[in-house]
Structure 1
């Protein structure tokens, strides 16, 4: 049972409000969304909101099994009920799950493998039972196994002439992207050559038909890290503006139309091209859909160099992260979308992970860490991935990595966030929000089970703790109309 102390104090609360004032002004107040029976996330202004209208922050993990049959097995090294419980117990309330196109329609366009969807349904049910929000992800890396990657079905991976006259080039990830053949493959997809893009959109329609009403859905990530094709050389300079305008966005609109035939309300996530992970210059225009999301990745190049044994340090990632978060918010605003950092990490460097997660707190950004388990990932530039030394043994968790990623944070806020901070070294947590009288449900704050060896000391100014929920959550309600500040140490 957590220990509770008295008021935080008016001066401290005022200081916290001053720190967050500029963010609040930019974000604007959040009203209550209409109540829905099924727990699903939707977009309201810049925020993710739940069925009660509360603003949700997601701290999640990527679950992408990149080998045939493209779904984790029901075994300790794969994904079981123990894994779902472990995620919830450690505050991971989200999962980006690799429901790959190669599994949905493996044999021909429009021929859906219902058995594949059933295999994922097992995992989805386990996650939903623990109240974990799920984003369906058509994950791909370097298109297909032909090029050393994965993601698309065999029928969508016919090699183009004249490259099919000699064996394909396979380089280490991500180098194959820059080969002329693979660039041509992506150009053909964006041009809908042989109707491949139509088949991709139809596969999304099948996913939406199966999971449009699924509890704890947070929508559809249309394609992981798309490649601009032969125009890629211009991306660091121009941001591939022409590719976004004439290729990416029209294709995403086509997939959205297929999804909307079955699911009128689920968030459709537009993902930026691969090089935007390093150069934040995405160029999506306004989206003609009020449930749009901007899915983006953050991989600081200093972190990659560090992983390759080049000792330059990762301190420069602070400026990198600030730039990426700011431009992500700007891109989402242009689109009329919410935003999600759907990948970051891919390293055991806890200094870098602390920088990434602190930047996310500063900007109230939801995130999905790469990755929950290594799962023999064939497309990685840094081999040190996953939360465990042994995927089959949860007791082999990497302790310092866990301490950095498991954070005390507000999972659902009955109002508008103002200021948020957490220190993974000390466990010191502070959160200020403006309450909404239109929301009846309490604010839910996850309290890390590993940072308070003597139990958490909880202080609330402008509100009170009214109860507890499973998975280490406290419930907070405002006692007035003014800001609520919660501190825990």
Structure 2
């Protein structure tokens, strides 16, 4: 999660050549794509789908930052915490952090005991109807350069150091970090082919979870950083090459799970363009492909502090507009659905609740899923340090469709009128009904359906199922009673 590099942009000037590369990034990517045609949805009507062919609108949390520092790589949660989350938020999705250092502690040697612990936690979510995305997480490359993610044996810093920084993100431009990334990407000669190890590690993970019904897919790398190669040269070069290699390795053991790819974070997170090229799925093209786009969203003006208020609010709104435009443009180029892999804010800041609401409304307008950062108790979380609900809970606990039997057109939640409107084009070859989540805070007795036929209502899961066939449907749901 890169949030506040911008607030210390001037401090980068003392880091030497790495600073020049990073500073040039803003110029390199530029305001490309303005005026590009807008699709009705983020991805030209492509969606993450389930095995029945229904479009999935996934919402949940990241679990969890605590896994980064835990020696065993496990998050703070117990099964009761997953149940609390399900009850309070109605979540149906989790971005679950794993790390290369735990998967492959020694070259070519995989820790299956660690993966069994991951499997245990995946099962907790699966029993509650969640879909799990496994995220190979890194920040500042790995522990050997004062970050997390990569194992020590895969860290080639050539003796260069990394100094701790008040803003932790500034460690990305420390000499040792830059050198470790350069060796990993193969942009500096003399190192080992660490990318081969990385792709093989992913294949090993995928072989363990290919048949797990709860695991929807794999996020190949958290917030990629190019070291001394930045911008389009990095995304279209070393990053795309790693993605192609890893996709091929995963598809050798798992033909069906979704594969999620991220852009270079330090530009795309702020609403700047991505140069990530279209990636081929060995499954085939068109609807056969299962590659999705999972950018993060941390608007640059907020990095300067002050929350979502005053002049910062207008700057953030402009950034959100740019972020949506650039995300949709990249998604169309990739032919991929969109899921916001991370977004969030310290809820003690002024306007934080309005900001999170704005992001969720933006996601709904795009037809994108979301994973809020994160489940760790604290000021960013739905839970405080005593695990009591924070003001974030009623914001995230939002009505909306979960699975749509066809191609979604639009959906909208009007909190004032307590009306949820869902429009879609039905498809005869899609199995199952359209599932809609109705939280108890707005729909204590369930929902009243207009424009469709209610098939079932599950008061425990708060899921209303509506039957549909071919043709266009507009369903409005209001509180029953």
What interval of TM-score do these two structures reach, taking the shorter chain for normalisation?
0.7 to 0.9
- The aligned residue for residue 294 of structure 1 is 293
Deviation of 1:102 (Å): 1.1
1:322 aligns with 2:338: no
Deviation of 1:429 (Å): 2.3
SS at match of 1:131: coil
Q: Is the 8 A contact 2:171 2:177 kept in 1?
A: yes
Q: Which moved more, 1:198-207 or 1:419-428?
A: 419-428
| Counterpart-to-counterpart distance in 1, 2:357 and 2:308 | 20
| Counterpart-to-counterpart distance in 2, 1:328 and 1:132 | 26
- The aligned residue for residue 276 of structure 2 is 284
Q: Is the 8 A contact 1:58 1:367 kept in 2?
A: yes
5+ long unaligned stretches in structure 2: 1-37, 282-288
Deviation of 1:324 (Å): 1.7
Q: Select which of 417, 422, 436 maps to 2:427.
A: 436
The TM-score normalised by the length of structure 2 is 0.82
Change (3 A) 1:314 1:203: same
Q: Is the 8 A contact 1:465 1:477 kept in 2?
A: yes
CA RMSD of aligned residues (A): 2.4
Cα deviation, 1:86-139, whole Å, max 9, x if unaligned, reads: 333322111111111111011x12100011001111101111111101111110
1:179 aligns with 2:174: yes
1:260 aligns with 2:251: yes
Q: Select which of 353, 358, 369 maps to 2:356.
A: 353
1:96 aligns with 2:95: yes
Deviation of 1:270 (Å): 1.5
| Counterpart-to-counterpart distance in 1, 2:259 and 2:127 | 23
Equivalences for residues 218-229 of structure 1 within 5 A: 218-229=216-227
Change (3 A) 1:105 1:296: same
Q: Select which of 250, 253, 270 maps to 2:261.
A: 270
- The aligned residue for residue 48 of structure 2 is 48
SS at match of 2:436: strand
Q: Is the 8 A contact 1:87 1:93 kept in 2?
A: no
Change (3 A) 1:361 1:248: same
Deviation of 1:480 (Å): 7.6
Q: Is the 8 A contact 1:101 1:138 kept in 2?
A: yes
SS at match of 1:465: strand
Cα deviation, 1:41-90, whole Å, max 9, x if unaligned, reads: xxxx62011111111000011013111335436xxxx2222222233332
1:148 aligns with 2:146: yes
| Counterpart-to-counterpart distance in 2, 1:72 and 1:425 | 41
| Counterpart-to-counterpart distance in 2, 1:205 and 1:419 | 36
1:337 aligns with 2:339: no
1:471 aligns with 2:461: yes
- The aligned residue for residue 23 of structure 2 is none
Deviation of 1:426 (Å): 6.7
SS at match of 2:292: strand
- The aligned residue for residue 18 of structure 1 is none
| Counterpart-to-counterpart distance in 1, 2:86 and 2:100 | 27
Deviation of 1:184 (Å): 2.0
Deviation of 1:329 (Å): 2.3
Change (3 A) 1:298 1:309: closer
Q: Select which of 448, 452, 466 maps to 1:458.
A: 448
Q: Select which of 213, 220, 243 maps to 1:215.
A: 213
Q: Is the 8 A contact 1:241 1:283 kept in 2?
A: yes
Q: Is the 8 A contact 2:405 2:426 kept in 1?
A: yes
Change (3 A) 1:308 1:246: same
Q: Is the 8 A contact 2:217 2:258 kept in 1?
A: yes
1:413 aligns with 2:404: yes
Deviation of 1:401 (Å): 0.8
The TM-score normalised by the length of structure 1 is 0.80
- The aligned residue for residue 10 of structure 1 is none
Q: Which moved more, 1:82-91 or 1:170-179?
A: 82-91
| Counterpart-to-counterpart distance in 1, 2:147 and 2:236 | 26
Deviation of 1:312 (Å): 4.1
For these two proteins, the number of residue pairs brought into alignment is 422
| Counterpart-to-counterpart distance in 1, 2:69 and 2:41 | 46
Q: Is the 8 A contact 1:435 1:484 kept in 2?
A: no
